[in-house]
A and B are shown apart, each in its own frame.
Chain A
Amino acid sequence: MASIAIDNPGSVVLLMGNEAIARGALEAGIGVAAAYPGSPTSEILPTLAGAAGERDIHVEWSANEKVATEVAAAASLAGIRSLAVMKQNGLNIAADFIVNLNMTGSGTGGMVIFVADDPGGMTSSNEQDSRAVAKWIDNPLLEAQDAQEAKDMLKWAYELSEAVMLPVFLRGVTRLCYTRGNVVLGELPVKNKKKAYFPDIWDMYNPTKSRFTAGPSAVAHRNLHEKLEKARAVFEESPFNRYSGPENPELLIIASGVCTSYSAEALEVLNIRKRVGLLKLGTVWPLPEKLVAKWLTAARKVLFVEETDPFVERSVMEFAASRLPEMDNPVFYGKRSGHLASYNEQSTDLVIAAVAEILGLPQQIRDPDYQRDAAEAMNLVPNRPINMCAGCPHRATFWAIKNAIALDGRNGFVCGDIGCYSMSFAAPGFYQSRTMQAMGSGAGVANGFGNLQQFGFAQPVLAVSGDSTFYHAVLPALVSGVYNKANFTLLILDNSATAMTGFQPHPGTGLLATGETAPVVNMEALCRSVGAEVSICDPFALGEATGTILEMMKQESGPRVIIMRHMCQLLKAKRKIPDKYHAWVDQEKCLGDSCGCDRLCTRIFGCPGLMWDSAAKKAVIDEAICVGCGLCADICPAGAIKKEEVN
C-alpha cells in the first residue's frame, strides 16, 4: 500500500512538503493530477501516482505544463477535482491557458494549481516570484508555511475554487517542498464515485454558446474581478491568517510562506516576542484588507518578510496609500527600505539582522576567536563545482561536439537547453553551450541563427535538447525550422529519462507515471515525418559520433537531427544494469602534467571518477566513484588508462 494513502487520521508522520501536498490532494478527494517534472515540485506527481491505483485516480505526466493545466481544467469542467503542478517556469508556459480559462472560469470540480518558486535559483535557469502572476491574471493565491499547512490548505482551496469557480493558486518555494516536517494526517474521503460529465453541450432546441468559450472579454474580466472580491471576503475569515504577539506591537512583521518560520524563529532568538507581533498571511492575493487594516492601525513600524519580490509589501503599501489622509500609516520596512533583499532566499539570520537594525538591538555575534579560526580554515576548502555524473553520456556527447566544432574550423557553436546537459555551459560540458534560456529555446534560437545567411552569417549552428525536452517544447521549433528551411543541426540527447528532475518517464520511454506500460512516441519517426534527416549514434562511440556531427555540420539544407542515444548512468544503476569495464590508470604510462598530455583527463575531460594525485603527479581512478564506462580509456593520449571487460 502506498504510504501516502495510509488511512490513519490523527497519526503523525514525517513528510516533505511535496509529499504533504500529495496527501492533501488525496484528503481533498481529487480525481485527476497532471504535471511536468520541475524542481522543486517533481516528487508530487510520482507520490500521487504511487497511490493512483489504490485511490482510483488519474495521474499523468503531460508533455508540458500547458497541457498539464489543460488536462486539470478539463477534469474540473467535468465536475472532478483536479491538481496541476509546476515549477515557476512551467507557470510561464501555462499562463496563456489560465488567462483564457479565467475568462469563463473553472468547473464544478475545484481546481488547484500548485506552483513552486526557487528563490536563489538553486535548480533553475532564472529566479522569479510567481505570485505576481496570480495578481496579474486574477486568481486567488495562497502561500503555505510548512508541510502541515500545505496539506491543510488544499482541502480549503478546493472549497474556495468551487465557491468562486476559478482555479486557486497555491504557492510554495524550494524550502517548503523539500523540508520534511511533522504532519498530522487527516481523513481520507470515500473514493471518488462522482461521475464525470461535461454539462455544457450543445442543445439544438435552445442553441446558445457554451459558458466556456470566449468573449465578450471585457464583461468576463469584470465578472472575474467580482469573483476575486468574493474570495477576498472569504480570506478575511481564513484560519490561515494568524496573528501572534502583543496587542500594540512596537514592530509588526507581516510574513508569508516559509518566511513566517524564519520570522518566528528570529523573534525567539532575539527574545522579543512580547514586543514584536507577527501577522502571518496565508491568503496572499487578494489582500484581506480589513484584517491588514486592523494591524496597520495597531503598529508604528511594519517589516515585510517574503521571498523574493516585495509582493505583499507592495499590496499592503498600495492599500495603505488608499487610506490616506484619513488614517495614519506606520513606517514600512522591507525591500524598498533595503532591509531585506528582493532577490535570493531569506533566512532567520537575515530577519534577525533586519529586526535588530530597526529596533536598535545589538547584533548576535559568533565567538570572535572561533570566527577567526573558521575563516582561516576556509582557505583549505576547495570549491566543489557541480559536474555530470561518472559515466554520463552527455560528457561523451559534448566531447564529440567540442572536437567536431574545432575540426570544422568555422567558429561553430551550440545553442543550449534545459536539463542535466545544461551543465555544458560550464566545465562539465567543456563550455560548449553558448546560449541558454527556456525549454526548447536551443532549437528555437538555432532557427534564428540558421536563417541569417543573407547577412553573411557563415558559422555552423548546433542545438541540443534532452529527450523529455524534445516532447515538451522542441517539436514546434523543429517544425518551424523545416518549414522555414533553417540551417542547423539538432542533437537530441536521448538518455531515456527526464534525468535532472529525477528520472521521470516521458512520451518516449514507454512508461506512464504509474509504472504501467505506455505507447512509445517514437522520436526518430516523429523527426523524419516532420521532414528532417535523422541519424542515430551512441555518444560512447566517440569516433563515429564526432564524424557524424562533422558531416551534419557541413550540410546547408534545413535542420537535420542526430539522436545521441545512451541510457543515463544513474538510471542504469537504478535498473541494476552492471558496469561494463574495470578501469585503471597504468602509473608507468601516465604522462601526467608533462608535454604530450598536460593532464587531459583530470583537467579537461573531468569525469569525477578521475583524480589527480599531486604527490605522484599521476592520474588515478577512484574506485568508489568510477562506474566502469570506459570512456576515459578512449581519450587518454598515452594509452595509460586501461579497461578490461567485466563479466
Chain B
Amino acid sequence: MSGTKRGSKNLLEDVIKAGLCTGCGACVTGCPYIVVREGRIVVLDRCTLEEGDCYRHCPRTRTDMNVVSGKVFGVPFSSAETGHALTIAMARSTDHLISKKAQDGGTVTTLLAFALDARMIEAVVCTKMDESKAPHGFVAHSRDELLQCAGSSYEAGFALEAFRKLPAGSADRVAAVGVGCQIEALAKMKAEAPVNGGNPDNIQLTVGLFCGWSLRSGYFRPILQGMGDPARIVKFDIPHSPHTSFDVYAEEGKSSVSLDEIRSAINPACQYCWDMTAEFSDISVGSAGSRFPGWNTIIVRTERGAELLARARDAGLIEIQELPEWRLAQLKTAALNRKRTAFKRLAEKSGDSQDLLYIFGLSEGFADSLLAG
C-alpha cells in the first residue's frame, strides 16, 4: 500500500491495477472521473487531489477493522467466525409473491419492502438486473420497485454507484443491500464521511448478503450468451449440495452449466476477501443450504436490525426459526476458512506474513493464528 497518499491515482495503483478491485462501486459514487463500463472500472481523467473519498471508502484500501467496528457496533472488531452478532437464526418470507422471485427465503426483499411500507426509510440502494441480466446499482422507492430487484446476481454489480443517484442534500432515510465489500465500504463512509454528497447518517440500515465470490462481466457474459436469450432468464442459483452446478431458471425451464466453467469467470480479487457474511451490516442474510430449501440464514448484528426483524415478524411477514447447531457449526467453519484463505493469499501477495495489504487493526495474534492453521 502506498504510504500516505490517498488520491485517485493511488486507488488506481493500489487497488485496481493491483488486482484487488471487487466491483463494489464505492469509488464511483460522487466522482466524475471514475465510472463503470461493462463491468470494469474506467478512470476517465486525472484527478489531482492528494486525498479523496474514492480511496477513503474503498474496502480494499487501508481498513482499520477496530475503528470501523467501533463506528458501526461500538465495540472492537469481533474475533467470532461470523463476526459481531446478537442472534443467528433461519427466516423466510410468508409472501409467496416475493418467495417466487426472490432468492431462497426472500427475507431481504420482505424486510426492506416492509421498511419502506412502514415509512422507516424512503429509499433502498440495491442491485437491479437489466434485460440482459447485467446488474446495476439502483435506488428503489417502493415495494414494486424493490420487487424488480429481487433475486441474486452473481456478477459484480458496482451497486454503490447508485448513491450518486440520490439527490444531493437529500434528507431521505436510506437502506442499502450489498455483499461484504459493499457493506465494508458503507461502514468506512460512516467512519470517514464523504466530503461532498451523501450524508452517511442517512443510511439507516444495511443488509449484508453472504458472498463467496462474484463474476467478471467480460468472462461471464459469453457463458451466459451461450445458454440462450438472457432476457428470458428469471433466476440464478447455485445449490449448496452437490456444489457442482450453476443453475439458470428461464421461462422455458431450468438449464445448468458446470460450476467449474463458472469458476473461470470468478473475479481474482475475490480470493483476497475475508468477509463471507458481511460482518459490518445491521443484518446479514444468506442461503440456509440444501437441507432447508426456501429458507435464509440470518445474522442479526445490531438493535436496528433486530427491531426491523421483530416488527416484520409481528406483522406476519417473516417466519423465524432456530438454526440447527450443526448448520451453525458449518457456517462458522466456512466463514473461518474463508478468513484463513484470504489472509494466506494476502500474505503471499505482499510477501510478508505481517502485511495483509488492506487489513489493519486486528487483535494481536489473530492473523498469525489463522495463518498457522
Contact = CB atoms under 8 A, between A and B. Distances in A.
A597 B49 CA distance: 10
A75 B196 CA distance: 70
Interface residues of A, number: 20
Nearest to B8: A598
Interface string B38-56: 0010111111110111100
B305 interface: no
Nearest to B31: A596
Contacts of A525: none
Contact of B37 (A407, A598, A603): A407
Given A406-B42, A409-B37, A600-B32, A595 B53 contact: yes
Which of A595, A604, A637 has its CB near the most chain B CB atoms (within 10 A)? A595
A603 B54 CA distance: 20
A407 B38 CA distance: 9
Contacts of B33: 598, 600
A638 B45 contact: no
B180 interface: no
Contact of B32 (A402, A589, A637): A637
B35 interface: yes
A596 B45 CA distance: 13
B315 interface: no
A252 interface: no
B40 A595 contact: no
A405 B312 CA distance: 49
B44 A403 contact: yes
Nearest to B36: A407
A596 B54 CA distance: 9
A603 B53 contact: no
A interface: dominant SS: loop
Which of B40, B48, B54, B196 has its CB near the most chain A CB atoms (within 10 A)? B196
Interface string B54-88: 10000000000000000000000000000000000
B47 A598 contact: yes
Given A407-B35, A407-B37, A596 B195 contact: yes
Interface in A578-622: 589, 591, 593-598, 600, 603-604
A594 B195 contact: yes
Contact of A402 (B44, B49, B168, B195): B44
Contact of B49 (A407, A430, A595): A595
Interface string A401-425: 0110011010000000000000000
B35 A595 contact: no
B32 A409 contact: no
Nearest to B43: A406
B30 interface: yes
B196 A402 contact: no
B228 to A, nearest CB: 23
Nearest to B54: A595
B8 to A, nearest CB: 9
A407 B34 CA distance: 10
Nearest to B53: A595
Contacts of A430: 45
Given A406-B42, A409-B40, A409-B42, A596 B30 contact: yes
B52 A406 contact: no
B48 A595 contact: no
Nearest to B47: A598
A169 B52 CA distance: 63
Given A409-B37, A409-B40, A596-B196, A603 B48 contact: yes
Interface string B16-32: 00000000000000111
A494 B240 CA distance: 60
Contacts of A594: 49, 195-196
Contacts of B289: none
A409 B45 CA distance: 13
A598 B48 contact: yes
A407 B42 contact: yes
Contacts, number: 56
B45 A402 contact: yes
A594 B46 CA distance: 14
Given A409-B42, A600-B32, A637-B32, A591 B47 contact: no
Nearest to B167: A639
Given A596-B30, A600-B32, A406 B197 contact: no
B196 A604 contact: no
Nearest to A639: B168
Contacts of A639: 168
B44 A596 contact: no
Contacts of B194: 595-596
A2 B35 CA distance: 58
B267 to A, nearest CB: 16
Contacts of B32: 596-597, 600, 637
Contacts of A406: 42-45
A595 B196 contact: yes
A591 B195 CA distance: 10
Contacts of B196: 591, 594-597, 638
Contacts of A598: 33, 47-49
B99 to A, nearest CB: 39
A591 B47 CA distance: 14
A197 to B, nearest CB: 64
Interface in A357-412: 402-403, 406-407, 409
Nearest to B40: A409
Nearest to A591: B196
Interface in B110-155: none
Given A594-B196, A596-B31, A604 B45 contact: yes
A596 B197 contact: yes
B195 to A, nearest CB: 4
Contacts of A402: 44-45
A406 B37 CA distance: 10
Contacts of B37: 407, 409
Interface in B160-182: 168
Nearest to B195: A595
Nearest to A408: B37
A598 B45 CA distance: 11
Nearest to A430: B45
Nearest to B169: A589
Contacts of B47: 598
A595 B52 contact: yes
Nearest to A600: B32
Contacts of B30: 595-596
Nearest to B51: A595
A637 B195 CA distance: 14
Which of A589, A593, A603, A604 has its CB near the most chain B CB atoms (within 10 A)? A604
A594 B197 CA distance: 11
A594 B51 CA distance: 10
A638 B44 contact: no
Nearest to A593: B49
Contacts of B195: 594-596
Contacts of B42: 406-407, 409
Contacts of A637: 31-32
Interface in B190-241: 194-197
B53 A638 contact: no
A451 B267 CA distance: 34
A407 B45 CA distance: 11
Contacts of B49: 593-595, 598
A595 B51 CA distance: 8
Which of B40, B51, B195 has its CB near the most chain A CB atoms (within 10 A)? B195
Interface of B: 30-33, 35, 37, 40, 42-49, 51-54, 168, 194-197
7 contacts: A406-B43, A407-B37, A595-B30, A595-B49, A596-B32, A596-B197, A637-B32
Given A430-B45, A595-B196, A596-B32, 12 more contacts: A407-B37, A407-B44, A409-B37, A409-B40, A409-B42, A593-B49, A595-B49, A596-B30, A597-B32, A598-B47, A604-B46, A638-B168
Ranked nearest first, the 6 interchain pairs of A and B with the lowest CB-CB distance are A637-B32, A596-B196, A595-B195, A595-B52, A407-B37, A598-B47
Interface of A: 402-403, 406-407, 409, 430, 589, 591, 593-598, 600, 603-604, 637-639
